[in-house]
Every structure is written in C-alpha cells, then in structure tokens.
Amino acid sequence: MARPVNPKAQFTVKPHFTNGYTYASTQPPYIDPKTGKKVYRRIHWGVVDENLRFTPGTQFYKATAQERARLIFPKNWDMSKAAALLGLTKEKLPLYDPHSQNLLYGDIWLLEQIAMKTKIRENLEEIFEDHELASDVLTLAIHPYLTNNTFNHLARWQRVAKTPSTRELTPLVIDKITKSITEQNFFDLLKLRSLRLGPEKLCCVQSASWPNNAINQADILPGQNTDCQNTQSLRLAHTAEVVVYSLESHMPVYYRALPGYIPEGKRLDIILKDLENSGFKNPSSNLNSNKNTNPNLNMILVTDGENKSSYDSSYDSNYYSKPNLEQLILGHKSMIMPINTSQKNVTMAINDLGNFKIHPDSMEYDLNKKIHYKQIDLDYYFDSKGHKTKADNKLKLNLYFDQKRRKSDLKEFDLYLDTQESYLAELLASNSQLSDDNLIIKDFMYYSLDYDPETRVLIDYKLNKNKVAKAKIYPGFFALITTGLDFEAMKTYDIYSLRDEQEKYFHQIKPNIYLDRQKNWSYEGKNGRLFILFVSLILSSHLRHVWQSSALYHKYSSPTDILDEMRSIRYIESANKEKVITPFDGSQLDVCKAFGIDVPRV
C-alpha cells in the first residue's frame, strides 16, 4: 500500500546546501508539459545562517501574502529578520493611549473612496492577486499627494494616520515593492483602464521632461528640459514622460517614460503601438476584426505642442512631421495636432488669402470665440510601386486668425528686431567677435552681416526688409491639422482648446505629487515608481475633475483645500477594539455629496 501524500509537504521549508550556501527551500510538484510526468522544482525563499536565522530573498518578497502564509518554517528557526524587513513586527504605534489608536483619517478616507469609484483599487487587486500588495501600492500613491514628502517619511506618517496598508512601509520594504512591479503589471493596468473608458474617444497626448539623478540608467540621458526653453539652459539628464488623458472623464489612460533625448516627433510611433497593445484600437482595425471587438476603444488623439510665431527661431517642434503624417494617413488614425505657420502648406494657404489690412475677407468669423477661420482640404500622395497614389485620408488644414494676437505678435516682433539691432550696434562699437555661422543665422536671421572672415569682427550690418515684410504676414495666424476626421474648423478648435485644462491635470505631478525630480537609482525601481505615479494621477485627476465641475469650485481654491477640509476626521479604536470615526461637519458633508460618497458608519 502506497504511503499517503502529505498535502503540506510542498509548503514545508527545508535547508538546501549548494555552492557553499544554505538556502531555505521548498520542492512543490508540477506536471512537465513535454513528458506529462510529475517532477519537482526547488524554490529558494532565502538563506539560513549557522544560527538558524532566516534572511528572506527576492522570491520571498515577490510572493503574495497568501503564498507566504502557506509556508511552513521549522519552529526552531529565527524569523525575526524576515518580520522586521517586511514591516510585520508589530502594529503601528498609537498616538495617545498605549492600548488604543487615534489616527488622522479623513483625507485618506476620501482618496480611498475615489479609488473605489474609479475602480483603481479593484484593478490593483486583479493585477497582483494580492489584497495586501494592492493596499501597499495605494498607500504609496496617496502618501506624496497628501504630505508632499518622499517615501522616506512614509513609515513615520503611518504612526499618526490610518493608511490602507496595515504593515509598516519602511524604505527597504518600499524598495522591494517598487522593484517587484514589472512591465507586464503596467500593461495589465493599462488594459484594465482601457475597458473602463466606455464610449469616450477624445484623448490628449501630453509630455514633459523630468530631471533624474540616476545618470547611470540607460534612458536617463541629457536633453533639452521643457521647463527651460532658453538656449542657455543646462542639458539636464532626464526622461521624457508621456501621458494620455481622456478629455471627457479627465482620467489618465496611458503613461510611458522615454529616453530624454528622443524628440516629440519621434515618440508618436511608440505611443501608438503601446496604446494598441493596451487595448485601444484605431478605426481601421475594426474593419477586419471579429464581432467581439469593442468599437468604443477607437481614439481621437489631440497632441500637444506650442504654436509660436513663425519669426521665433526657438520654436519647439511638436508631433507634426512628414513621417508621422504618413503613418497616421496610411493607418487611418484620427488625430488633431498643431502645425507651425512656417510649414509649406500653411504659408501657401495664408498667401492665397491675399493682402489685407485688418483681417482676410475670405475667412469666416466666429462671434463667440472672436476669431476668423477657414478649413482647407489637403490632398496627400504617397509612393506605391513607383507611382504616386492619392490617399483617402480626410486630411484637413484648419486655419485661424486672431486680430488681438496679431497686434501682440507684431509688437513682440518689433521688440525682437530692436533688441537684435541694439546688440549688433554694441558689437560694432566694441569691435567684438561674432560667434559661429550657425548661431549668426539663428540669432540675426533678419539682418545681413558684413564681417572679417578671419577675425570675425563685425564691420557693418543691414536690416533685410524683404524678410521682415514676409515675416509680418504670418503673425496672428495659427493652424491645426486633422487626419481621419470630418470635423468642422470651429469644432476642431473647441476640441483642441480642451488641452489647456488637461495640461493643468498633468502638471500637478511636480507641485502636488512631489515629483519635481525623480529620486530612484535602479531601473526596476524607476518602473515601479512610475506605476505608482500613474495610480496617483488617477486619484488626483478625479479629485480635480469633481472639484472643478461641482459647487466645490466656488468654495475651495484648489483640490488640496478639499483634502485639508477632510483631514481633521479621525479614526479611533479603543482598547476593547471598539471602532469610531469622528462626525462629519457641514462642509465635510458637502464634499461627500459632491463626490457621491456615503458617510461611513462604524
């Protein structure tokens, strides 16, 4: 008769000696898919020293709370080090009474309710299959938003506040958590968020650069910081952070960190592929798809990019480029993007308007926005087997003219010319040397300079009137180009204007979520912290959206004031384990009503 199998044997931890080390290991069985036979694999959970003191390893930290609870360690082993490193030594310290807790709770409770309403809490539990780890990530996402402190202060904050996580999150524990979050976890979250969008389609692409101290990382490379656009700014080591927001729910649906040196125009291909892998489909993908494809996942992307005057040599290029345009057209993707007025298609359209004194007569006028507009259908031809083929692209140029903007642009242009002339006069009087030719062309593009080619000393200068007259045609104009859309010019303008508010959502990262400079040094830790940042953005964006779209906007000057209002609510647990949440006052009840949240009863 065969010996009965002990069901707990696969969870029994035993010492395993190999390569001069003693590992704490288990040997669970599994079926080999090739042979179909039962085989055993060895899992190392950590090491054991000569004093039988167990030190957990990577496998132990990555395991879920349920997996760790099933492990059966020898009773004579010292497990204190594992308990201390995991923050499981004891409950958090009470604030007043050694047998009770009196903790700050109101602002944390509000963000926890937002996590429930936005389903981000549910998403985290589904991804990690671990309630404890989901609570840890939620705590990490909430902490910097509420305290404006780094994670080094989190464990101390837990002593006075009731956080979602019940274990002490020390810096070492946080490091293990962030390094355990994988790229697959990130894409799983993006897929789950895409399913929450419903019929929403409008999304804007927003990017910014964040300095990073970890210059040894592969994607932390020097590049132009978007916060420092002048030519004298330092080329800081940083990453390019790209986020895609829904313009209807005001929620982030995509986040990606790219190497800092990659310009915006070359990021689009990566963004589009990531979005499609995350569940967002372009309209053409539904033509040959099965019946289960959700057409609501089609996206209309609105890109960022400053549309400066054509005479400004410091123009920052955006996503518009010929390769990107061809990719959008051939892929039948829908997008709205700004285009510089110096582009050929725009200059031709402006020149076709003819001469005018106040405004072009051939443009229509919108009374509400007080701007002139005109939409122009553009043809696009691409090479196909040596022949030019016209694309069915719905490519449209939306041209706008603002009289007030024209006046200010012309004043700025005259000031620009006066400044350059004063500088040249100073160089001429002091017999100073000029810089290299590239900078001369860039800085003095409207002047003809005569200088000694050997000494590079300025001899004379003269204003190029033809260039100036040509440049004065374009101030006041700005343009948007659309692909795959049948929107009228003013509808396109209204949609693009939604970006202005969306930029405020994105730029709350630095002041409110305390990410003015990334402070992580490892690549794994960076990915984990970006995952946590994405969760923070979801919470803060919903908070800001409710504040701005409700009566709270007239009562509180910012979303953080709402959190300050709720912070005084406390969670009290007495020595006999009786739990009490202090009462909500009138203003706090108004907050709950605005968010559609019921007041808790404990």
Are 520 and 223 contacting, i.e. CB atoms less than 8 angstroms apart?
no
Tell me whether residue 410 is exposed, middle or buried, using C-beta atoms within 10 angstroms of its C-beta: 0 to 12, 13 to 18, 19 or more. middle
Q: Which tens digit of pLDDT belongs to each residue from 205-249?
A: 777 666 665 555 555 555 554 444 443 344 556 667 777 877 777
Shortest CA distance to 222 belongs to which of 202, 204, 239, 236?
236
Are 526 and 238 contacting, i.e. CB atoms less than 8 angstroms apart?
no
Among the residue ranges 77-91, 404-418, 521-535, the one predicted with the least confidence is 77-91
pLDDT of 255: 78
- DSSP letter at 156? H
Mean pLDDT of 442-463: 84
Shortest CA distance to 299 belongs to which of 279, 318, 324?
279
Given pLDDT bands bounded at 50, 70 and 90, which one contains residue 272?
A: confident
Given pLDDT bands bounded at 50, 70 and 90, which one contains residue 283?
A: very low
H/E stretch holding 123: helix 120-128
H/E stretch holding 564: helix 559-566
Q: Where are the domains of the chain?
A: 9-85, 101-180+530-595, 184-402+476-507, 406-471
Tell me whether residue 14 is exposed, middle or buried, using C-beta atoms within 10 angstroms of its C-beta: 0 to 12, 13 to 18, 19 or more. middle
CA distance linking residue 440 with residue 115, whole number of Å: 55
Q: Which tens digit of pLDDT belongs to each residue from 525-583?
A: 778 888 898 899 889 889 988 998 899 999 999 888 999 999 999 998 877 778 888 99
- Please give the angle made by the CA atoms of 177, 178 and 184, to the nearest 5 degrees: 105
Structure tokens at 484: 């795959």
3-state secondary structure of 178: helix
Average pLDDT, the chain: 78
- CB 516: neighbour CB atoms within 10 A? 12
Are 35 and 9 contacting, i.e. CB atoms less than 8 angstroms apart?
no
pLDDT of 1: 47
CA distance linking residue 378 with residue 493, whole number of Å: 18
Structure tokens at 437: 């030719």
- Separation in Å, CA 540 to CA 365, 435, 461: 38, 48, 55
- Helix-strand-coil percent breakdown of the chain, rounded to 5? 40, 20, 40
CA distance linking residue 372 with residue 252, whole number of Å: 33
Percentage of the residues of the chain whose pLDDT score is greater than 90: 16
Q: What is the CATH number of domain 184-402+476-507?
A: 3.90.350
Q: Which tens digit of pLDDT belongs to each residue from 9-50?
A: 888 898 988 877 889 999 888 787 778 788 888 888 888 888
Shortest CA distance to 335 belongs to which of 359, 347, 318, 352?
318
Are 271 and 244 contacting, i.e. CB atoms less than 8 angstroms apart?
yes
Are 248 and 189 contacting, i.e. CB atoms less than 8 angstroms apart?
no
- DSSP letter at 230? S
Q: Which tens digit of pLDDT belongs to each residue from 483-517?
A: 888 889 999 998 888 776 666 656 665 555 555 55
Does this model's pTM top 0.75? My answer is no
